[in-house]
Amino acid sequence: MWEDPIVAEVHRAREKLAADCNYDIDAFFAGVQKRQALLGARLIPQKKRAEPPAEADRGRHSGSSGSGSSGAAPAA
């Protein structure tokens, strides 16, 4: 079977990280938090998702179906 070298590298990295933490997920995340703290201002803060602009709703009217028909639901 063909083995993708990139996937194999990711699996090796995962195995090494897990082994370094003695396969303890809590120890792994404690290490991640420690490394984040050491980076300090070098990390870019996550921004909140922007609200869509008002123009995004242009052309949508809550009272009309847009089909020009009698308003009946389309047949299934």
Tens of pLDDT, residues 16-71: 999 999 999 999 999 999 988 888 877 777 777 777 776 655 666 555 555 555 55
- pLDDT value, residue 42: 78
- pLDDT value, residue 48: 75
Q: Measure the N-to-C terminal CA separation of the chain; round to a whole number of Å.
A: 47
pTM of the full structure: 0.46
The 10 Å Cβ neighbour count of residue 24 is: 11
- pLDDT value, residue 64: 53
* Torsion angle of the four alpha carbons 18, 21, 25, 31, in this order, in degrees rounded to the nearest 10: -120
- pLDDT value, residue 13: 96
Instruction: Locate 33 and state its tokens.
Output: 């938090």
Which position has the token pair 């090796």? 12
